[in-house]
Amino acid sequence: MQQVLPMIYLWLKAGHIIFVIFWMAGLFALPRYFVYHQEAAAGSAEETVWLDRERKLLKIILTPSIVVVWVLGLALAQTLNVWGAGWLHVKLLLVLGLSGYHGYLAAYHKKLVRGERTLTGKQLRLLNEVPGVAAAIIVIMVVLRPF
């Protein structure tokens, strides 16, 4: 039994990292898709292609990934029993923020489906920086565990 627990931990950790990579790739790609989408003429065939790409990215990659990231991440925290660690609280706060960002992007996609283009290309390019900054801080929290 003592050999099984470390192996379960390693599989949880590997799965968590794999799905974090999938999720982050989607969070980086979607705002960029929105930029290209908004550069296409409203009602054009090109706009339809971008809507389809955005929908597929959300449905096939982003939504399943966020679910698996949360499930495996919480399982890891439980396995390690690190609930009281300050670094984990910061990480969870940032992951919660990224989850909200994910929801915001999904809502913006719905606006684009309705033909509403409320953000500029520059604003979308700036939004694209959010996951990178959050990921950098999360990695520092997990690797260095400063508190």
Token pair 């991440």 is found at 73
Total structural domains in the chain?
1
- Would you state the pLDDT for residue 6? 78
The amino acid occupying position 25 is: A
What are the pLDDT tens digits along the chain (147 aa)? 567 777 899 999 999 999 999 999 999 999 999 999 999 999 999 999 999 999 999 999 999 999 999 999 999 999 999 999 999 999 999 999 999 999 999 999 999 999 999 999 999 999 999 999 999 999 999 999 999
Q: Is 16 annotated as a binding residue?
A: yes
The residue segments making up the domain with residue 132 are: 4-144
Q: Which long-range contacts (CB under 8 A, 24 or more apart) does 46-52 make?
A: 51/112, 51/113
> Is 91 known to sit in a ligand binding site?
yes
